Structure 1
Amino acid sequence: MKNSRLIIFASLVLACILITQLNQIPNLNKQLVQAKADLKQTKLSHKKSETILSSPQSQQDHVSDSTKIVTAFVKNFSNQPTSSYSDILKGLASQKVINELTQTFAPSVTFSEKAHYDVPIVAIKKAWGSDLNYLVVAKNDAQSVAYKITYDTEEKQVTDMSRLTLKGAFDNEK
């Protein structure tokens, strides 16, 4: 009798342990899937880092080409009427940026047909990775305008921009 009670008790304990372990399987599967995704992202990031470190000249050329595109982008929207932005900026900037320029930035800056904007400063803030951050100043005789621009090297277009206030040497607005 004592042995049968002991066997029943041990069987119940083992059954509880088995049920608990079986309930953990879906949770463990989710953790496994997340860990695999994290590993894949880490390997991809590591591969990009190895590529950049193993070929700094390639990255420098990449940054140089991106800087030329950003400069052309700023010259295009600074020296063209707002109505033509959707045509002239297509391929240089995302639709979000084109809409922002048309509705927000352009009306706050005087872009007249007589005024020609030069782009004397295109400074890069972050040169490593797929998103390059630039500080760009466009100026003419009457005013200077500064922009913070994010260029995505994978999409090969401007994906974000914001207008900055200028103080000091470039603050020559009349």
Structure 2
Amino acid sequence: MKNSRLMVFAILVLAGILITQLNQITNLDKQLGQNKATLKQSKTSQKQSQTIVSSPQAQQDHVSDSTKLVTLFVKTFSNLPTSSYPDTLKGMASQKVINELTQTFAPSVTFSDKAHYEVPMVSIRNAWRSDLEYLVIVKSDAQSVAYTITYDTDKKQITDISRLTLKGAFDNEK
């Protein structure tokens, strides 16, 4: 009788351990999936880093070309009427950006036919990512406007734009 009680107790303990281990399998599967995704992302990031490090001149040329395109984009939208944006900016920017410029930014900034806007400053925030971020200052005789612009080097388009408020006086002297 004592042996059978001991045997039942041992079976119950082993059954408890087995159930606990079976419950752990789903958690381990989730962790494995997360770790595989992290590994894949790390390998992609490492590959991009190796490419950039192995060819810094190519990356510099790439950034230079992107900066020219961003400058051209800003000059284009600040010196043309909003009605021409869908046709003129197509291919330079995503449809989301064109819509934002047409509906949000343009009415809040006075782009008159008489004013001519120049782009005195185009500054890059991070030159080593696939999405380059720029700070752009646009100025005329009457006003100055600052934008942050995101340029996707893979799509070769501007994918995001936001207008910044300029604090303090901006020197408009030439």
Superposition TM-score, scaled by structure 2 size: 0.91
Of residues 54-63 and 132-141 in structure 1, the stretch that sits farther from structure 2 once superposed is: 132-141
Aligned to 1:168: 169
1:129-168 equivalences under 5 Å are 129-166=129-166, 167-168=168-169
Aligned to 1:52: 52
Post-superposition Cα deviations, 1:42-84, rounded to whole Å, max 9, x if no partner, equal: 1111111111112111111111011011011101101111011
Q: Report the count of equivalent residues.
A: 172
Note if 1:68 corresponds to 2:68.
yes
Distance in 2, Cα, partners of 1:109 & 1:67: 23
User: Runs of 4+ in structure 1 displaced over 6 angstroms?
Assistant: none
Amino acid at match of 1:168: A
Distance in 1, Cα, partners of 2:164 & 2:19: 61
Alpha carbon RMSD of aligned pairs, Å?
Answer: 1.6
Structure 1 unaligned segments of length 5 or more: list them: none
Amino acid at match of 1:6: L
Aligned to 1:8: 8
The alpha carbon displacement at 1:165 in A equals: 2.8
Aligned to 1:100: 100
Aligned to 1:109: 109
The alpha carbon displacement at 1:171 in A equals: 5.2
The alpha carbon displacement at 1:13 in A equals: 0.7
Percentage of matched positions with identical amino acids? 74
Match of 1:150, SS state, is strand
Post-superposition Cα deviations, 1:18-54, rounded to whole Å, max 9, x if no partner, equal: 1111122122111111110111011111111111112
2:150, 2:158 within 8 Å by CA — same for their partners in 1?
Answer: yes
